[in-house]
Amino acid sequence: MRIAPVYIDNINGKKIDKNIFSSYKNLAYLKPGDRLTLDYKNSFNSDSKKRLQLTAEHVERKAVEVSIKDQNLILQVKSFRRGTIHFIKKALSLAYNKKKLIIDLRHSPGGDIYALVDWLSLLLNDDIPVITLRKQSEQHKSTQSSNITLFTLPGKIEQRIPIIIIVSEYTASSAEIFARILRTQIPGTLIIGRPSKGKCLAQSNYALGNLGALKLSTYNVELIDSGSCEGIPIQPDILKAGVETYNLQQINQLVEQVAPANRP
């Protein structure tokens, strides 16, 4: 049974606008046990609202989920995380007899830049320079010693099927970098969706004792072939409004409609 989407009007009395991050950024600071009052509508233009009383709980978000639909292998990437490489390798090994590899980055805010390179190493030849990290404070000094260039590693799994990447305005950071590099390095890679966030920064974590950790953007990311992509959203090959709300079946149907069966 497919559950229809609902439209959130306000949370704890604060009006929500999906295009204005500040209207819902406090959700990132919820703690288990926090109470929420949520007013929602069943259709965008409806004047009738319903109310839910919710309690926040801790949820461990999977880094990636794998599905197969109509002989298409779909990777839903939520974040690039270390320790997932063996899972991704196993998933990609299923692609040899599939029609297409669909990489869903619609709701991926990024993740670990080194995990990103590990993933790229499964799809590209080894020893390819893909990313240069430059300290933000040294962006304009550009000394060779201040730069870190990352190369792909051995371990490529040969793919003979088309790669289709789905992006949205919620695709950011490492997810954007991943999509850009695949489009450049693998001819025929197709990107579908809406322009992405346009954030190309790498972050560092700083421990704060019992207070947790502070995450700061400390590196500008420069692509080997095109330089810095900070502030430059990915422009999809095929624009599709509303793609961020699609379920997997709709994503699969969209790809079947617009993507060729074989790589040129």
Beta carbons within 10 angstroms of residue 39's beta carbon = 16
36: in domain: yes
Gap between the Cα atoms of 88 and 218, Å rounded: 28
96 band by pLDDT with thresholds 50, 70 and 90? confident
Nearest CA-CA partner of 186 in 124, 97, 118, 264: 124
How confident is the model over 159-189, as pLDDT tens digits? 889 999 999 999 998 999 999 999 999 999 9
Is 252 a domain residue? yes
| Residue 207 confidence (pLDDT) | 46
Least reliable range by pLDDT among 13-22, 163-172, 210-219, 239-248? 210-219
Q: Is residue 108 part of a domain?
A: yes
Residues spanned by the domain of 130: 64-258
264 part of a folded domain: no
Q: Residue 3: is its pLDDT beyond 60?
A: no
- My answer on whether 137 and 250 are in the same domain is yes
Mean local confidence (pLDDT), 94-116: 91
Please say which residue of 55, 72, 92 terminates a domain. Answer: 55
CATH of the domain at 249: 3.90.226.10
Same domain for 118 and 224?
yes
Same domain for 165 and 70: yes
The rounded percent of the chain whose pLDDT value lies above 90 is 44
The type of residue at 28 is: A
Are residue 141 and residue 51 in the same domain, yes or no? no
pLDDT category, 229, cuts 50, 70, 90? confident
d(CA 244, CA 240) in angstroms, rounded, equals: 9
Q: Is 136 contained in some domain? A: yes
Residue 175 lies in a domain: yes
C-alpha 80/C-alpha 113 separation (Å) is 7
Query: Is residue 78 located within the same domain as residue 129?
Result: yes
Same domain, 221 and 102: yes
Of 19, 37, 55, the last residue of a domain is 55
The tally of domains found in the chain comes to: 2
Q: Say which residue, 213 or 163, is predicted with more confidence.
A: 163
pLDDT score of 56: 84
Give 110-134 pLDDT, tens digit per residue: 888 889 999 999 999 999 999 988 8
Query: Could you tell me if 47 and 80 lie in one domain?
Result: no
Whole-angstrom distance, CA of residue 8 vs CA of residue 245: 13
State whether 208 and 108 are in the same domain: yes
Beta pairing class for 227-228 and 163-167: unpaired
The answer to whether residue 236 sits within a structural domain is: yes
Whether 116 contacts 174, CB under 8 Å: yes
What average pLDDT is seen over the chain?
A: 84
Q: Which of 32, 55, 78 is the last residue of a domain?
A: 55
Nearest 5°: the CA angle 82, 85, 91 is: 140
Question: Does residue 249 lie in a domain region?
Answer: yes
Same-domain status, 133 and 174: yes
